[in-house]
Structure 1
Amino acid sequence: MAKPSGSPHEAVRKTDHVPFYRRLFARSSFAFAALDTERRIIDANDALLRAFGISSIEELPAFDACISPAHRAILPFATRQELTEQAPWEIRLQRPGGDEFWVLASFIEPPALPEDDLAPDMIVQFLDVDERKRNALELAERESRWNHALESAGQGVWDHDFARDQRFYSRQWCTIRGRQPHETYDSALDEWIGNVHPDDREHVLAAIARQESGETSFSVFCYRERHKHGHWVWIESRGAVVEYGPDGKPSRIAGTDTDITDRKEAEERLSQMSRRLELALDVSRVGVFEVNLRSNEVNWDDRMIEMYDLREKPDIGSWERSLHPDDRHLAEKKVADGLANNADFANAFRIIRGDGEIRHLRGRAAPYTDMTGVPRLIGANWDVTEDVQLQEELKHAKDLAEARNEALEVARARIEYTSLHDHLTGLPNRRYLDREIEEAARRAEQNGSRLAVLHIDLDRFKEINDTLGHDAGDRMLVHAASVLSELKSATDFVARIGGDEFVFLSAGPAGRNLASLAEAIVTAMRKPVTFNGHICRFGASVGIASQSGTAIDARQLLINADLALYRAKNRGRSRHEFFTSDFQAQIITNKQTADDILSSVEQGRFLPYYQPKFCARTLDIVGVETLARWNHPTRGILAPDTFLKIAEDLDCVATIDRIVLEKSLADFAEWRRLGVGIDQISVNVSSKRLHDPELGRSLRTLDIAPKSLSFELLESIFLDDCDHVVLENLAEIRNLGIEIEIDDFGTGHASIVSLMKLRPRRLKIDRQLVKPVSRSPAQRKLVGTIIEIGRSLDIEVIAEGVETPAHVAIMRDLGCDSLQGYALARPMPAEAIPDFVQQQEWRKVPGGIRDPQDSNRRATIS
């Protein structure tokens, strides 16, 4: 492309030919400029000169400098050959004076024509759009400010253009509902109304219908809408009709939504607070008043009017007229001082009500200036007549109390003494002991000394009390208290804690012999005491526990001493026992055994073992005795001597009896089904079971064939001491066809009269009497006498403890009816009975000791 060699004007004058671009410049209303390779302006039309406000192009710098500095970076891209045919560039140009204006600029590379050897390198065409652009920017700025204002105010904008079927929702509108601006949202009324709270839908639909029908051009309503996360938000919606259609109905409605949840919650809290305040005022009967200090207008609530019993509307003088004459001056001065100091104040005065009654009131008021600048006084009155009267009564009582202070002090000391001492013996009581033992433990810890507790229980006290009366018992308690008081040192403490129980605290050096102290107590208590000519003898059992060190547990000492006392009484009474680590271990073992017994009762682990009974003449089996066994989960089969005592303490022996009875009846039924040939079973019945009022009812629920069951009763639990419950149970037992046997006969205290009264079916001679018969003629004679007594009373006699062939022969010769013992059979489980009966092994070795099941050798008879 040819380039001009001199100035542009010189180049034009060299030829009379007019280039094409000049003809273009002259005919166009657009502004044009021709640029050379260095982007200098070499030609321009009048439209360009007018746009820059100049008369010639010499006043313009290079084209780059004509562009606003902010847009010069665009030029290298706009003049690239591959981009020159794109849409015009929107840029700002800069006039020589420095002001800028907006244009739409196109950069054109002219075609190379033969006649245009002086054609420019680039042609720039632009259209002045400054006014339009500035208007658009101003409009955008205004819109931005408006949007920011709405966003900062938390208002979401919505626009429903029904004519164009367009709906717009702003970012804040979406945020209020927990939605993202880009989410699709079905804004159809039928779908949207489902998110509105059911209680609000009716009035929301009504408000929308009024606006869309043109009934109102502006509407405001509040409702609850479900948030995207599930909770409800309160929204205040404001909408206005902005366009109407040809039919005169709204065609476009726009408005804002505001989240007013916090405001609604605040209003609800305020409403609740107002309700609570009103309720509090109503319940407390506090009356509220307000006075306009400028107009003297008075406003009293209903409680005030009721309190003063006003018959007319209150005015500025109502209060003064109601004041008691003696209180008027001081009450009015309080009000005047409060108003003068512009400070709140309290008041107390009497009023004379409309009905003439005098009441005491309290009041509190405060002056303030309202929003309009009017000075006011607001306050409250409440009736304190009852309080004043009570205070006057209290003051009177106080005066009387002060006048009698000395007497009251004596009474207080007497009450204090009585509350801490036993009224009979004068010794400290349990309350005093609880306080003293804690203090004694603290002192022992500080001094490094020992604290010992001796728990003392009187023996045979109940017998004296029951036989000689309560006066005799009281005399014994007083004597016991004096004995303990004489034995205590200055550092010891003795208390009666109830009934015939005492506690002796010994605090001092560990060298003191507690055993000697306990023996001294036991010895002193054995000495006879005379009461009304009667010689009374009783004793004492003592449990001892002691501890020393820096952590003495006083409460545990009392418990340990009580456990030691329990042990002393169980070992024969009138003795002392120490609580030791071995004792503690035994307690733990007993506790574990007790737990195992209780769980085994629930699990049905108690079961019957059976020891056959034999006819003394034929050695035929005439029945079996049921013996309780415990199938311990870890220790195997255990006899009653390992669990009976603890079971008695747990009061569950009767339950075990019932379990064993039910299982033995089931075994008996199975033997009969198998044809084993056992016609009767006998079951031991405990005293607890025999004293159970429900025994008869429980037996009636069982399937017991007459004469198939016999109850063995210990001689020591029934003879000569049967109460009405036992007698009723014995009668019911006979009515059910259950026979009665007397177990361990000969070792108790039975009488012939008792036997005749009870009329048992059988007697079982105790093994202690049977064992010596093989070597003692006197013992054989005694046993023979018992057999003769049984025969004379028509009572069968069974010998238990038959352990040798000699026992079998002797007891048969003495006329015994049945035999039971190791010589013939040991106790065995139910499943061993059929084989034992079938094999008849006791006949093969007459009188020999045979064990049908080796696994049962460690089982013992009950």
Structure 2
Amino acid sequence: LSAALPPGDDGSSLAGAVRRSLAPPVQVDGVGLRVGASVGVALEGRDGHDLVELMRVADRAMYADKARPGAPAREEAAADPTLGPDLRAALERRDGSEALGLHHQPQVGWDGTVSGYEALLRWSHPRRGLLLPRDVLPVARAEGALTALTLHAVARALTDHAVLAAAARPADPLTDLATDAPTVSVNVAARDLLVDGFVDDVASLLAASPAPPGCLLLEIAEPAPHPRPAVQALFAALDALGVGVSIHEFGAGAASLAPLAGYAGVRELKLDPALTRAVATDPAAARLVAATVGAAHALDLAVVAEGVEDPGVVPRLRDLGCDRLQGFLVAAPLPPDGVAAWLERWRAGGGAQALLGA
């Protein structure tokens, strides 16, 4: 929306008019729904002189407005005018790979084996210290750099995989059984998957890396309930590269396993942490998990209980058939050079059997 404003008006009146126009309830099937709006305003001359500059400032302001009700950290990140240029500089310069790194949270099976890691972005900012994804992602969105950041994370994950795989190898090959190389999963927004050339970029990163393609998972939210041919083709292209797909936060909304049968390459479901926390005390949650596990196994999908923090849920998750555990009860996200030491402590402490109290 573009508009001419009266002299001295900073755009507040226009933003207010937009909000007021959306204030009346909207009737949908006889139910009154209220719709809110997050508004960002940029003024020509003050905030920029061309459409690209103005859109960038307005987008940043909109995300700051969106974050204001319940996420002050995001607001602070979006409001800092130096973070956007700093992020672009970190992505473009060669030494930015050290500042923009990953921590990895282990995923373990009931025999104690580490089957994979979820890669989580960490930005060591020279002024702000260690920034988490909730601080970085709004900045990347506002700067139009989300896809570049995602590809950077994929590249780092493939680089880190050598360290993760080395740590997973048995200390004594004469007494310990060898294990498969762990997977590493990178969170990807659906909009990134649909960007032209994204799959080709992932293919190039795989070709330049010694890591096997099968080690990489792209972790996404539940796909659309009615698979579109273009999206199915995209999943098929990833599958042809050997790249798997993990569906996270399953069970957070109106979850359905039926659409997943139409997508190639989906390997695992990750239960929403709220569902994981509820299985020991809420019979309805336990029934939902049991049904999810049964249907997922019928589709040859592994089920990961994410957000495991309470020892009391562990036996219930095992009884319900969940295949793997992930959460702070197992380990916090670890820098690559901390994985080997954690894994040694994990094995020495009895691994998953210790969590079960066996």
Contact 2:271–2:303 (CA under 8 A) maintained in structure 1:
yes
Distance 1:641 1:841, change over 3 A: farther
Distance 1:802 1:842, change over 3 A: farther
Query: Which of 284, 293, 313 lines up with 1:787 in the alignment?
Result: 293
Confirm or deny that 1:619 pairs with 2:109.
no
Match of 1:757 in 2: 262
What CA deviation, in whole Å up to 9, does each residue of 1:474-495 have, x standing for no partner?
A: xxxxxxxxxxxxxxxxxxxxxx
TM norm structure 1: 0.33
Distance 1:719 1:748, change over 3 A: farther
What CA deviation, in whole Å up to 9, does each residue of 1:265-305 have, x standing for no partner?
A: xxxxxxxxxxxxxxxxxxxxxxxxxxxxxxxxxxxxxxxxx
1:696 Cα offset (Å):
2.2
The residue identity in structure 2 corresponding to 1:621 is V
Match of 2:214 in 1: 707
Confirm or deny that 1:660 pairs with 2:158.
no
What CA deviation, in whole Å up to 9, does each residue of 1:3-22 have, x standing for no partner?
A: xxxxxxxxxxxxxxxxxxxx
Match of 1:642 in 2: 135
Contact 1:692–1:725 (CA under 8 A) maintained in structure 2:
no
User: Which is bigger in relative contact order (C-alpha 8 A, separation at least 6)?
Assistant: 2
How far, CA to CA, are the matches of 2:77 and 2:300 in structure 1?
49
What CA deviation, in whole Å up to 9, does each residue of 1:616-657 have, x standing for no partner?
A: 3x1221121211111222333221011212212222122122
- Please state whether the residue corresponding to 1:608 is helix, strand or coil: strand
Confirm or deny that 1:799 pairs with 2:305.
yes
1:293-332 correspondence to structure 2 within 5 Å: none
How far, CA to CA, are the matches of 1:619 and 1:655 in structure 2?
35
Contact 1:608–1:629 (CA under 8 A) maintained in structure 2:
yes
TM norm structure 2: 0.74
Distance 1:458 1:811, change over 3 A: farther
What do you get for the CA RMSD once the two structures are aligned? 4.1
Distance 1:566 1:740, change over 3 A: closer
1:842 Cα offset (Å):
4.7
What CA deviation, in whole Å up to 9, does each residue of 1:405-428 have, x standing for no partner?
A: xxxxxxxxxxxxxxxxxxxxxxxx
- Please state whether the residue corresponding to 2:195 is helix, strand or coil: coil
Match of 2:233 in 1: 728
Greater C-alpha Rg: 1
Match of 1:570 in 2: 66
How far, CA to CA, are the matches of 2:146 and 2:238 in structure 1?
19
Query: Which of 9, 24, 31 lines up with 1:526 in the alignment?
Result: 24
How far, CA to CA, are the matches of 2:90 and 2:306 in structure 1?
30
How far, CA to CA, are the matches of 1:739 and 1:625 in structure 2?
13
1:807 Cα offset (Å):
1.9
Q: State the number of aligned residues.
A: 318
Contact 1:606–1:630 (CA under 8 A) maintained in structure 2:
yes
Match of 1:594 in 2: 84
Match of 1:628 in 2: 121
1:831 Cα offset (Å):
0.8
- Please state whether the residue corresponding to 1:781 is helix, strand or coil: helix
Where do 5+ consecutive residues of structure 1 fail to align? Answer: 1-428, 442-449, 460-517, 530-535, 546-552, 574-581, 849-862
Query: Which of 188, 191, 206 lines up with 1:688 in the alignment?
Result: 191
Contact 2:164–2:182 (CA under 8 A) maintained in structure 1:
no
- Please state whether the residue corresponding to 1:747 is helix, strand or coil: coil
Match of 2:51 in 1: none
The residue identity in structure 2 corresponding to 1:700 is A
The residue identity in structure 2 corresponding to 1:720 is P
Contact 2:227–2:262 (CA under 8 A) maintained in structure 1:
no
How far, CA to CA, are the matches of 2:334 and 2:165 in structure 1?
18
The residue identity in structure 1 corresponding to 2:193 is L
- Please state whether the residue corresponding to 1:634 is helix, strand or coil: coil
The residue identity in structure 1 corresponding to 2:189 is S
Match of 1:836 in 2: 342
Match of 1:455 in 2: 14
How far, CA to CA, are the matches of 1:629 and 1:591 in structure 2?
20
1:664 Cα offset (Å):
1.7
Match of 2:173 in 1: none
What CA deviation, in whole Å up to 9, does each residue of 1:213-238 have, x standing for no partner?
A: xxxxxxxxxxxxxxxxxxxxxxxxxx
Q: Percent same amino acid among aligned pairs? A: 23
1:722 Cα offset (Å):
5.6
1:816 Cα offset (Å):
0.7
Contact 1:615–1:818 (CA under 8 A) maintained in structure 2:
yes
Distance 1:827 1:785, change over 3 A: same
Contact 2:108–2:324 (CA under 8 A) maintained in structure 1:
yes
Where do 5+ consecutive residues of structure 2 fail to align? Answer: 48-53, 170-178
How far, CA to CA, are the matches of 1:757 and 1:776 in structure 2?
31
- Please state whether the residue corresponding to 1:624 is helix, strand or coil: strand
The residue identity in structure 2 corresponding to 1:637 is L
- Please state whether the residue corresponding to 1:797 is helix, strand or coil: strand
- Please state whether the residue corresponding to 2:331 is helix, strand or coil: coil
- Please state whether the residue corresponding to 1:526 is helix, strand or coil: coil
How far, CA to CA, are the matches of 1:709 and 1:799 in structure 2?
19
Contact 1:804–1:847 (CA under 8 A) maintained in structure 2:
no
1:572 Cα offset (Å):
10
The residue identity in structure 2 corresponding to 1:455 is L
How far, CA to CA, are the matches of 1:539 and 1:522 in structure 2?
10
- Please state whether the residue corresponding to 1:847 is helix, strand or coil: helix
The residue identity in structure 2 corresponding to 1:832 is G
Distance 1:695 1:829, change over 3 A: same
- Please state whether the residue corresponding to 2:339 is helix, strand or coil: helix
Distance 1:554 1:742, change over 3 A: closer
How far, CA to CA, are the matches of 1:570 and 1:624 in structure 2?
31
The residue identity in structure 1 corresponding to 2:154 is L
- Please state whether the residue corresponding to 1:659 is helix, strand or coil: helix
1:586 Cα offset (Å):
5.6
Distance 1:591 1:728, change over 3 A: farther
How far, CA to CA, are the matches of 2:326 and 2:137 in structure 1?
23
How far, CA to CA, are the matches of 2:334 and 2:315 in structure 1?
24
Contact 1:693–1:729 (CA under 8 A) maintained in structure 2:
no
